[in-house]
């Protein structure tokens, strides 16, 4: 007996290709700085999609910097692994760039702004003129063309952090990792830098960068991110992942006063507060 035609058609159909692996996959990540010491990070698992801006928020000391260092292979984990497009990360991949909180230590004071930004392009197979042209284009994009010949120490903190961001972007990274990059600047400059980051993330040289932005500032996390991963401490672990679902482009006034913004930030506050309250780090004295 012949089989119905639709069954045969189904068997002949080519199965769809498997979805591409996420930009980053973090699986069961744990870190102890010494063998008998406490865990700084325990069983952290999450993914970051291509082009996503993920914020990681948590109180001071919960392991955010530890997590970023592990993400880019700057140090070895005690458990678990990190994968970049499905490949294990063992040392910092060429496609990654980092921005740290302390811009004054990350920029070279003896190099002018343009030479600081050209620095990561050594060994990239470009001529000096090519490197200069690339650096100038990034400075232009970051609104820094007027200070190219100055030295970092001649600039305000906010401008220095812009230079640090330009230097991270000049090598056209696929993944941008930021460790509390705006924590040391005043509130107005911070808002300005947040908007620079949003612009860069959505359209840097006509493509979307995948970004992991670590902060202890809940409002900043919600304002910037597609999704917020919430960590609590001792050991650092993931206690929630919240989709922000706020429309882009975002704006300091309208976004921050929207009901959705307030709902998400309150949800994160409540999550952290309840986990901290239940934490046995502070046992009740009886």
Kindly state whether residue 62 participates in binding ligand ADP, applying the rule CB under 6 A: yes
Measured from the CB of residue 15, what is the shortest distance to ligand ADP in angstroms?
Answer: 43
Applying CB under 5 A, which part among 45-53, 58-66, 223-231, 244-252 lies near Mg ion?
58-66
Preceding amide of 235 cis, omega within 30: yes
Distant-in-sequence, close-in-space partners of 78: CB < 8 Å, separation ≥ 6: 30, 31, 32, 39
| Chosen residue from 23, 26, 40, 200 binding ligand ADP by CB under 6 A | 40
Nearer to ligand ADP, 200 or 234 (CB): 234
The phi and psi torsions of 113 (rounded to 5 degrees) equal: -55, -50
Which residue carries 């692996």 as its tokens?
Answer: 21
x-or-dash pattern for ligand ADP, window 64-103, by CB under 6 A?
xxx-------------------------------------
Distance between CA atoms of residues 24 and 42, nearest Å: 18
| Chosen residue from 47, 49, 59, 65 binding Mg ion by CB under 5 A | 65
CB-neighbour burial class of residue 285 (10 A; exposed 0-12, middle 13-18, buried 19+): exposed
Kindly state whether residue 33 participates in binding ligand ADP, applying the rule CB under 6 A: yes
Query: Taking CB within 5 to 8 Å according to partner kind, which of ligand ADP, Mg ion, none is near residue 63?
Result: ligand ADP
Nearest to 202 by CA among 247, 164, 259, 159: 247
Measured from the CB of residue 233, what is the shortest distance to ligand ADP in angstroms?
Answer: 7
Applying CB under 6 A, which part among 53-61, 85-93, 98-106, 158-166 lies near ligand ADP?
53-61
Distance between CA atoms of residues 231 and 64, nearest Å: 8
Nearer to Mg ion, 101 or 116 (CB): 101
Classify residue 123 as left (phi > 0), alpha (psi -120 to 50) or beta.
Answer: left
Kindly state whether residue 63 participates in binding ligand ADP, applying the rule CB under 6 A: yes
CB-neighbour burial class of residue 172 (10 A; exposed 0-12, middle 13-18, buried 19+): middle
Nearer to Mg ion, 65 or 189 (CB): 65
Nearer to Mg ion, 160 or 233 (CB): 233
Kindly state whether residue 202 participates in binding Mg ion, applying the rule CB under 5 A: no
Question: What residue ranges bind ligand ADP (CB under 6 A)?
Answer: 33, 40, 58, 60-66
């Amino acid at each position: 007996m012949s089989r119905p035609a639709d069954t045969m058609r189904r068997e002949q159909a080519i199965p769809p290709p498997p979805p591409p692996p996420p930009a980053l996959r973090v699986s069961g990540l744990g870190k102890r700085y010494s063998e008998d010491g406490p865990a700084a990070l325990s069983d952290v698992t999450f993914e970051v999609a291509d082009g996503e801006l993920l914020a990681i928020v948590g109180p001071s000391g919960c392991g955010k910097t530890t997590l970023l260092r592990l993400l880019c292979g700057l140090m070895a984990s005690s458990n678990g692994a990190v994968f970049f497009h499905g490949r294990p990360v063992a040392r910092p991949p060429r496609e990654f760039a980092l921005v740290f909180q302390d811009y004054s230590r990350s920029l070279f004071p003896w190099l002018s702004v343009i030479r600081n930004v050209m620095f990561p392009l050594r060994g990239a197979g470009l001529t000096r003129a090519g490197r200069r042209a690339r650096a100038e284009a990034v400075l232009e994009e970051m609104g820094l063309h007027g200070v190219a010949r100055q030295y970092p120490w001649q600039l305000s903190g906010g401008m220095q952090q812009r230079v640090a961001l330009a230097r991270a972007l000049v090598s056209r990274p696929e993944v941008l990792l930021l460790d509390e990059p705006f924590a040391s600047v005043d509130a107005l400059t911070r808002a300005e830098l947040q908007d620079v980051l949003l612009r860069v993330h959505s359209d840097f040289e006509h493509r979307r960068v995948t970004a992991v932005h670590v902060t202890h500032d809940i409002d900043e996390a919600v304002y910037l991110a597609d999704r917020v991963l919430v960590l609590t401490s001792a050991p650092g672990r993931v206690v929630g992942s919240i989709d922000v679902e706020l429309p882009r482009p975002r704006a300091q006034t309208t976004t921050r006063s929207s009901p959705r913004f307030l709902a998400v930030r309150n949800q994160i506050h409540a999550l952290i507060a309840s986990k901290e309250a239940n934490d046995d780090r502070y046992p009740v004295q009886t």
